[in-house]
Amino acid sequence: MIAGFLALAATPASAETFNFATGPNSGTTASSLNFTSGGHSVSLNGYTFANSLSPGALDGLNLYSTTFHSGATLSYSNRGVGICSSTETGGTTGNSAGCPEIDSADEQGRNRVNVNEALLLSFTGTPAVDLLSAVLNIVDDNDTLGIYGVSATGTLDFLGFTGTILNPTGGFTVTPIQTNTNAEYQLTFTPALGSFSAYLFTTMTNGTTPTTGDGYRLRSLTIAAVPEPATWALMLVGFGLVGFQMRRRRRVILAA
């Protein structure tokens, strides 16, 4: 029995990777997307909010308030998932203008309009997950990333970051996968981000005025399940039993 508890305590949460690059190269759109990996599922949905509100200032706001608008169309291809808001123009294949990206400003003929975009990822299969790493596509040297944890009631908790994706000031390391026109990078979060059952991916800006170069596509995401409270309780009981057994054995030896 004690050995079983020790095995449970020593076993790390298994990592699972969701690959969002499932669409055809020509580009496809959808109102929502669902993916499964191992024992977990994730639903992807698009949101927009006014660009008078900096993406970095969302901390503490509620996703289900009138500040945010759901229903933004998702664009997906073999380069990952982006958002196509109603005012955007451009193709859905993943080029760097308009529709394909999660942008800090909609682009309509390269003229900024009044919408920022955010991608909501809602996980099922466990009460909460940690984010270990992500792969972003179409990354330029001025592109930025912001991630929020979303509570059960919709409150946003800012998890980072400052700086650009390619030159972060902390929170993740960047490894290039390909550096051509459609540059792709793996981000490893240090430490892992968590523990939420939903996360909001958006961009960051230096102030309240978005730029036209803050977009990216989310190609994949690697998570780890957070142990449930009951599991932690079992582990604590196991450690207690181990300690009791060691003390008992020591008394036997001393008595002998």
Which pLDDT does position 163 carry in this prediction? 82
pLDDT tens per residue, range 15-63: 999 999 876 666 778 899 999 998 899 999 999 888 777 777 899 999 9
pLDDT above 70 as % of the chain? 68
Cβ(134)–Cβ(51) under 8 Å? Answer: no
**Mean pLDDT, residues 65-89:** 84
The rounded mean pLDDT for the chain is 78
Which pLDDT does position 18 carry in this prediction? 96
pLDDT above 90 as % of the chain? 39
Confidence band, pLDDT 50/70/90 cuts, at residue 101: confident
pLDDT exceeds 80 at position 74: yes
In this predicted model, which residue has the larger pLDDT, 4 or 17? Answer: 17
**Mean pLDDT, residues 193-202:** 95
Residue among 105, 69, 84 nearest 30 (CA): 84
**Mean pLDDT, residues 96-122:** 70
Q: Which of 16-25, 78-87, 96-105, 229-238 has the lowest mean pLDDT?
A: 229-238
pLDDT exceeds 70 at position 188: yes
pLDDT exceeds 60 at position 97: no
> How big is the chain by its Cα radius of gyration, in Å?
22
Tell me which H or E stretch contains 187. Answer: strand 184-196
pLDDT exceeds 70 at position 191: yes
pTM comes to 0.81
Confidence band, pLDDT 50/70/90 cuts, at residue 13: low
pLDDT exceeds 60 at position 252: no
Q: What is the dihedral of CA 22, 25, 27, 31, to 10 degrees?
A: 0
Which pLDDT does position 159 carry in this prediction? 93
Rounded Cα–Cα distance for residues 65 and 153 (Å) = 11
Rounded Cα–Cα distance for residues 137 and 85 (Å) = 19
Which pLDDT does position 14 carry in this prediction? 83
